[in-house]
Structure 1
Amino acid sequence: MHIAQVHDWSEGPRYVTVDDPPAPTETQIQLRVLAAGLHQVVRSRASGQHYSANSLPHSVGVDCVGRDVATGKLYYCVNMQASFGSFAELITVAKGTVHALPESVDPLSFAASVNPGMSSWLALTQRTSNLPKSYTVLIVGATSASGRLAVFVAKALGAGKIIGVARNEAALAKIEGLDEFIVQKDPVTDTDFSQVDCDIVLDYVYGVLTLHLLSTISVPRPLQYVNIGSLSRDEIAIPSALLRSRDITIRGSGPGAIAPQIIQHEIKRLVPTMAGWGLPGAHGVPLKDIEEAWQDKSLQSKGRLVFIP
């Protein structure tokens, strides 16, 4: 069969031939992959820059939608182990890593959505505490794939008000479910957070924008900040005086911060919830074209990419 595999971190994935996976045992299931999402974490792992996978050869992909070879039933599968790769024609995995889907689900849209949606779901369910009723969420990086889905997730988990932050005003205005939005200025320090009143910050950007936000926001109650991503690729130093002068709780959310068994448990809650949403479409790319597509900037700008065998 064919898979996408990395043999040199500087080269990116290659379309290679390998042996078919072994037949499933009683505790396993074999899926024929229909669609595997190209998420930010997939790119990071494939470049050797993510802490969850740093050895070669690296098989690409962390999740997929596929059909059970034996029964034809539809499943979503996710596995963050370094040895796993979902950009393949067939995978044999533990039954505990798959989740049944209704036939009404579009495999491409679903494969593109669960991983980015899971980021905010885990942040809100596992990395916050004692949330007030109808809490307010500020999403930094709201126009990203994960940020857009965080709006759906926050509402499903009880948020009463959602505020988005991003550079593109036109894109912010089109996001369904946002109650307010703040346009990021250039320079970042011109962005006005002084009137923001929220309980939680979900941050996909990090960097100077985050430092400015935490330094200038004035909330008259405890503020919970959760870092989920670092799209800015910048690191910052948070002054100790800022931490002592505000009632701010700072956490991160991701593999390592949350135990694998808890992640699997939460996915069991998230998957049926998402199956009922009208998810936006995704752009499918044949797996055999991965080497060209990986470098194609115009294709990447489409967003929500999935690879199909």
Structure 2
Amino acid sequence: MHIAQVRDWSEGPRYITVDDAPAPSDNEIQLRVLATGLHQVVRSRASGQHASSGSLPHNVGIDCVGRDVATGKLYYCSWMKPRFGTFAEVITVPRAVVHLLPDTIDPVAFAGSVNPAMSSWLALTQRTSNLPEKYTVLILGATSASGRIAVHVAKTLGAGKVIGVARDEAALAKMEGLDEYIVQKDPITDTDFSQVVCDVVLDYVYGDLALHVLSTVNIQRPLQYISIGVLSRKEVAIPPGLLRSRDITIRGSGPGAIPMPVVLQEVKKLVPAVTKLDLLEAHSVPLKDIEEAWRDKSLAGKGRLVFIP
């Protein structure tokens, strides 16, 4: 069968032939992969820059939508085991890491949506505490894929108000689910957050925007800031006086911040929730074309990139 595999961290994945997937044991299931998403964490792992990258050769992919070879039932699979990858034609995995899906789900759209949704789901369920009822969420980088679906995840998890922040006013205006939006200006310090009162900040940008928000947002009640992504520069200096003068709790949300057993338990709750959300727009590419598509930056404007064996 064919898989995508990295043999040199600097070269990206190759489409190669390997032995067929092993037959499943009683505690395993064999899936014929229908769609597998190219998430940011997948790129990071495939470049050797992620804590879970493991050693070479590296098999690409962490999740997929596939059909049980034996029964034809549709499943979502998520597994970050070293040397395991979902960019393959067939995979054999423990039954504990697969989740049954309605047969009406679009495999491509679902494969492109679950991982982005997981970022905000884990941030809100595992990295916040004692949120009030109908809490308010401020999303930095709201027009990114993860930011878009975070709007709906937050509402699902009890948010009463969601405010989006991004540079693209036209895109913000078209987003469903936002109660308000703020257009990020240049320079960032011209963006006015002084009237914003919120309980949680979900940050997919970081950098100067994060510092400006933490410095100027209207603190009328405790604020919980959660760093999830880095679309801006990676470092910012937070003055100690800021931390002493404002009721702010700063946390990060990612693989190192949340134990894997907890992540697996939350995925069980997340998957059925995502089946009820508006899924992200996704663009499918044959797995055999991965070497070219991996480097094609023009595909980023077509929605989430999903590979189909």
**Does the CA-based 8 Å contact 1:53-1:81 persist in structure 2?**
no
Worse overlay, 84-93 or 132-141? 84-93
Match of 1:36, SS state, is strand
Match of 1:208, SS state, is helix
Q: C-alpha displacement at 1:81, in angstroms?
A: 2.2
Q: C-alpha displacement at 1:274, in angstroms?
A: 1.2
Worse overlay, 18-27 or 112-121? 18-27
Equivalent residue runs for 1:1-309 within 5 Å: 1-309=1-309
CA distance in 2, matches of 1:119, 1:209: 19
Q: TM-score, normalised by structure 2?
A: 0.98
- RMSD over equivalenced CA pairs, Å: 1.1
Worse overlay, 298-307 or 64-73? 298-307
CA distance in 1, matches of 2:235, 2:49: 15
Worse overlay, 6-15 or 154-163? 6-15
Q: C-alpha displacement at 1:209, in angstroms?
A: 1.0
CA 234–256 in structure 1, closer or farther in 2 if over 3 Å, else same: closer
Match of 1:295, SS state, is coil
Q: C-alpha displacement at 1:281, in angstroms?
A: 3.4
**Does the CA-based 8 Å contact 2:112-2:280 persist in structure 1?**
no
Q: C-alpha displacement at 1:278, in angstroms?
A: 3.2
Q: CA deviation digits over 1:185-205, x for unaligned, max 9?
A: 112222211111100000011
The amino acid of 1:92's aligned partner reads: T
The amino acid of 1:51's aligned partner reads: A
Match of 2:21, SS state, is coil
The amino acid of 1:37's aligned partner reads: G
**Does the CA-based 8 Å contact 2:122-2:253 persist in structure 1?**
yes
CA distance in 1, matches of 2:191, 2:21: 52
Q: C-alpha displacement at 1:54, in angstroms?
A: 4.3
CA distance in 1, matches of 2:145, 2:254: 16
**Does the CA-based 8 Å contact 1:208-1:234 persist in structure 2?**
no
**Does the CA-based 8 Å contact 1:141-1:147 persist in structure 2?**
yes
CA distance in 2, matches of 1:140, 1:278: 20
Q: CA deviation digits over 1:256-279, x for unaligned, max 9?
A: 211111111111111111112232
**Does the CA-based 8 Å contact 2:149-2:280 persist in structure 1?**
no
Match of 2:92, SS state, is strand
CA distance in 2, matches of 1:189, 1:54: 41
CA 292–300 in structure 1, closer or farther in 2 if over 3 Å, else same: same
Q: C-alpha displacement at 1:102, in angstroms?
A: 0.6
Q: CA deviation digits over 1:7-32, x for unaligned, max 9?
A: 11111111111111211111111111
CA distance in 1, matches of 2:60, 2:238: 35
Runs of 5+ in structure 2 lacking a partner? Answer: none
Percent identity, aligned pairs only, is 74
Worse overlay, 103-112 or 2-11? 2-11
Worse overlay, 180-189 or 101-110? 180-189
**Does the CA-based 8 Å contact 2:145-2:280 persist in structure 1?**
no
CA distance in 1, matches of 2:141, 2:54: 27
Q: TM-score, normalised by structure 1?
A: 0.98
CA distance in 1, matches of 2:233, 2:36: 25
The amino acid of 2:110's aligned partner reads: F
Q: C-alpha displacement at 1:222, in angstroms?
A: 0.3
Q: C-alpha displacement at 1:300, in angstroms?
A: 2.2
> How many residues matched?
309
CA distance in 2, matches of 1:302, 1:281: 8
**Does the CA-based 8 Å contact 1:37-1:306 persist in structure 2?**
yes
CA distance in 1, matches of 2:258, 2:166: 27
CA distance in 2, matches of 1:281, 1:171: 14
